[in-house]
Amino acid sequence: MTCVPKESLFENLSEIPLDPHYALKELFRADTHPKKVILGSGLYRDDNSEPWVLPTAEEVVKKTQDSGRYEYLPISGLAPFVSAARQVLFGPLGSKEARVVSLQTISGTGANFLGAKFLAETLKPSAVWLSDPSWVNHANIWGLAGVQVRRYPYWDATNKRLDFEHMIQRLETAAAPGDVVLLHACAHNPTGVDPTKDQWTRVADVCEKKGLFPFFDCAYQGFASGDLAEDAWAVRHFLGRDTLEMAVAQSFSKNMGLYGERVGALHLLCRTSMAADKAKGHLSRFQRGQISQPPTTGARLAATILADPELFQEWLLDLGEMSGRIRQMRRALHDELVAMGTPGRWDHVISQIGMFSYTGLTPEQVASIQENSHVYILKSGRISVAGLNTNNVKHVAEAIDAAVRTHPF
């Protein structure tokens, strides 16, 4: 007689809450208020609150509609894209090129996950060190890879700036040789606060001294400052020292507006070309087991833009337009708050860089803003500056002002 259990084998699973970013979207969708605003999503929008399709990308779409887009790619991805992505990130590699392994991935998330699984198996680090705070998915990814997640200080909430000395102190005293330290190449998510070039040099010094493995997440190159080389400065500095092996997760979701195409790459710099050849085999095994091979369309779009000199220059103009509008919105929000005499200091809104701003708003203030003004912000107080525009920035500033006066810091 067959024994049929009355309960599911999964009955005792713990409840996993919805990711806070997606939970916020659900609340926003359900709100019918005509002046509702969402400042949670990391998606660039134009001044009409619409997702902006880069003119360069639209032009390329018309040129790449052929049957080849349905073919399987190699496990490592589309070779022209992988090569061009590596060039944009590192600049000329010269003799180091044979020591760099690059694979196309499912955007930056896929690059982070592939790198984490590979390093967990090969380096077996005692921990990965994430900034406090960091992109919420970093801890999820490294936890799934089986690596202990530890934190180094980053955000000084009192002064609303980088807590650099405590960051260095923690890495110097608590990190163990072989540990991975995850670094945001530019436009730190969620704070919008980056180290200076002198500070980056000190971070590299600590990695050398302690034998730490640097893992960069580069999701905003060119999108942060509008300058590809400036936004890649930290990565290229670590590369130029020629003393460290490292990995870089690279995404083209933001800087090319290819959010749904999931275009990214993982790059691994090894000490020798022999080590790189071996590492490529292991990375390919992980890639094969996870996705077999990456998708074609987005990679072809990106490769076409990066390889064509005229399109590349048009893309740089697109980057300038996006980064410039975000800076304008930072200034507009700051100026509105200052004009109203909103309690607190707001200079950090314009000193931060990139898509996000850690406003310093408390959870109580955020809840008040959402309930009374229908402006949706993460509980951490992080806003996506790209969600601001000339039509809603005053409303957002008034919402912040009211909440701060009702619930003082």
Please, what CATH class does the domain formed by 20-52+323-406 belong to?
A: alpha beta
How far apart CA 99 and CA 157 sit, in angstroms, is 40
* Confidence band, pLDDT 50/70/90 cuts, at residue 122: very high
135 has catalytic annotation: yes
How far apart CA 331 and CA 362 sit, in angstroms, is 22
Region 385-399: mean pLDDT is: 93
Percent of the chain with pLDDT over 90: 75
Contact assessment for residue 85 and residue 265, using Cβ atoms and an 8 Å cutoff? yes
Q: Cα 302 vs. chain centroid, distance in angstroms?
A: 18
Region 198-215: mean pLDDT is: 98
- The chain-wide mean pLDDT, for the chain, equals 92
Is 70 exceeded by the pLDDT of residue 67? no
Which pLDDT does position 64 carry in this prediction? 65
Residue 45 DSSP label: B
Tens of pLDDT, residue by residue over 99-108, are 999 999 999 9
Which pLDDT does position 182 carry in this prediction? 98
Region(s) of the chain under CATH 3.40.640.10: 73-307
Contact assessment for residue 382 and residue 358, using Cβ atoms and an 8 Å cutoff? yes
129 has catalytic annotation: no
How far apart CA 42 and CA 318 sit, in angstroms, is 17
Is 60 exceeded by the pLDDT of residue 222? yes
pTM as predicted: 0.92
Catalytic residue among 163, 179, 217, 401: 217
Which pLDDT does position 257 carry in this prediction? 86
Fold of 73-307: Aspartate Aminotransferase; domain 2 (3.40.640)
How far apart CA 133 and CA 130 sit, in angstroms, is 8
How far apart CA 387 and CA 383 sit, in angstroms, is 8
Residues with Cβ within 8 Å of 339's Cβ and at least 6 positions away in sequence, in order, are none
- Cα torsion 209, 211, 215, 221 to 10°: value is 30
Alpha helices in 215-308 (DSSP H): 228-231, 233-241, 273-290, 297-307
Catalytic residue among 36, 117, 160, 254: 254
Contact assessment for residue 213 and residue 375, using Cβ atoms and an 8 Å cutoff? no
Which pLDDT does position 65 carry in this prediction? 63
Catalytic residue among 36, 117, 129, 135: 135
* Confidence band, pLDDT 50/70/90 cuts, at residue 224: confident
Tens of pLDDT, residue by residue over 251-308, are 999 998 888 889 999 999 999 999 999 999 999 999 999 999 899 989 999 999 999 9
β-pairing, 37-38 vs 213-218, is unpaired
Which of 330-351 are b and which e, b meaning 16 or more Cβ less than 10 Å from the residue's Cβ? bebbbebbeebebeeebebbee
Longest CA pairwise span in the chain (Å): 79
How far apart CA 12 and CA 319 sit, in angstroms, is 49
SS3 at position 177: coil
User: What one-letter code names the amino acid at 148?
Assistant: Q
Region(s) of the chain under CATH 3.90.1150.10: 20-52+323-406
280 has catalytic annotation: no
